[in-house]
Amino acid sequence: MKKTSINLIILFAVLCIFGCNKKENQSKTHPTSMENIQISEYGVTSKGDSIKKFTLTNKNGMKVEVINFGGIITSLTAPDKNGKYEDVVLGFTRPEDYFNGNSYYFGALIGRYGNRIANAKFTLEDKTYEVDKNDGPNSLHGGKEGFHTKFWNIEPVKDAKFPTLKLTYTSADGEEGFPGKLTTTVFYTLTDDDALEISYEAETDKPTVVNLTQHSYFNLSGNFTKTILDHELQINADKFLPVNETLIPTGEQKAVKGSPFDFTVSKPIGKDINADDDQLKKGKGYDHNWIPNGSGLRSIAKVYHPESGRVMEVLTDEPGVQFYSGNFLDGKFETKTGGKNELRTGFCLETQHFPDSPNQPSFPSTELKPGQKYQSKTIYKFSVKK
């Protein structure tokens, strides 16, 4: 072989190695995940905290907006059958309405204990704790000053594959009556297949109870003046938890078969909502925990809005999901698309452990001990059906 050909082969090999390395480096760092997070001023709370809005955008143009007050998702867009991305989560039009109460828990991170604790009391390792009683005799969503009212530290995650936010909040020992200093971390990731992935982590320095969830209300029509009764819902659950008058589970795990609670085959939310049924009366509609079949990260529910073609699938590793049909929406606030937030203009699918678990030994435990790590994951994935 001639010297020049040998030189050419060596040059080619060197270029190839350099090229391969470059490619490897590119897949290790993901500069685009940072470029796809915009930070802007959102508002100032009455305590003087300056609230920022973080906008995540994926390659399709889907956007999720999150604020560092309550970890609230203020906007989330999803495609319709014509490829149009529109906001599909309920929310206020004025920042101060999030800061001053947010009694609907619009878009918020919920903690320490999502859902209800009976009589706002529980016993852990022989000690009885009284937590904030903010819902009749019970405690709801971690108390009046739960995680939905807190200032969360938010950092974009540098080396993530997709735009990701890391939210942290440390809850002091005794906050809202709960024992132990609890350090909570939540990751919001917007993937390129139009999914919002939410990962929760928590650690404590004393035995405590934890049940974290996300309280976004969805209306897949993109028009918040319309009700969600025409949305078709499927929940992969053969059983649900009947409740008493104050929405505390009775302890029974009841088969859905033959009842208005049977969503094993997709049906419009409005189909049976006004049926003459004691449980529907107690909930003023659907406001119950279903027990999705199976365990581990699995698909537990699907919602389809026929007019727009929008589909939302919910995956979680949690044992329960609260399907709430917006029964307490009362038309007091203006929506982002005009009109008022009338009854049943949004629904929630809140993935979680069962309500009142600290008082119900037959339910999966919500106890967290020092040295243990609470971990849970939920995915809301959007697509279209034509």
Q: Are 377 and 352 in contact (CB under 8 A)?
A: no
Q: In angstroms, what is the minimal distance from the CB of 195 to ligand BGC?
A: 22
Residue linked to tokens 């027990």: 291
Phi, psi dihedral angles at 169 (to 5 degrees): -150, 135
Q: In angstroms, what is the minimal distance from the CB of 386 to ligand BGC?
A: 33
30, 141, 148, 215: the catalytic one is: 215
Please report, as ranges, the residues that interact with ligand BGC according to CB under 6 A: 104-105, 247, 287, 322, 324, 328, 348, 350
- 142 versus 180: smaller Cβ distance to ligand BGC: 142
Q: In angstroms, what is the minimal distance from the CB of 24 to ligand BGC?
A: 46
Q: In angstroms, what is the minimal distance from the CB of 190 to ligand BGC?
A: 24
Cα separation, 5 vs 11, in Å, equals: 10
- 138 versus 164: smaller Cβ distance to ligand BGC: 138
Residues 161-187 as b/e (b if ≥16 CB within 10 A, e otherwise) read: ebbbbbbebebeeebbbbbbbbebbbb
353 is catalytic: no
Handedness of CA 251, 255, 261, 265 (dihedral sign): positive
Q: In angstroms, what is the minimal distance from the CB of 88 to ligand BGC?
A: 18
Query: Which residue stretches of the chain are H helix?
Result: 3-28, 31-35, 95-99, 278-283
Cα separation, 195 vs 198, in Å, equals: 10
Partners of 243 in beta bridges: 249
Rounded to 10 degrees, the C-alpha dihedral 245/247/253/256 comes to 90
Three-class secondary structure of residue 4 per DSSP = helix
Tell me the CA distances in angstroms from 91 to 153, 174, 374, 384, one per residue in order.
21, 30, 29, 23
- Name residue 53's amino acid: K
- 247 versus 315: smaller Cβ distance to ligand BGC: 247
Tell me the CA distances in angstroms from 77 to 93, 158, 171, 300, 377, one per residue in order.
16, 23, 31, 22, 21
Half-sphere exposure of 78 (CA within 13 A, CB side): 26
141, 288, 350, 353: the catalytic one is: 350
Q: In angstroms, what is the minimal distance from the CB of 263 to ligand BGC?
A: 16
Cα separation, 138 vs 248, in Å, equals: 9
- 175 versus 287: smaller Cβ distance to ligand BGC: 287
- 138 versus 204: smaller Cβ distance to ligand BGC: 138
- 54 versus 380: smaller Cβ distance to ligand BGC: 380
141 is catalytic: no
User: Annotated catalytic sites, by residue?
Assistant: 215, 350
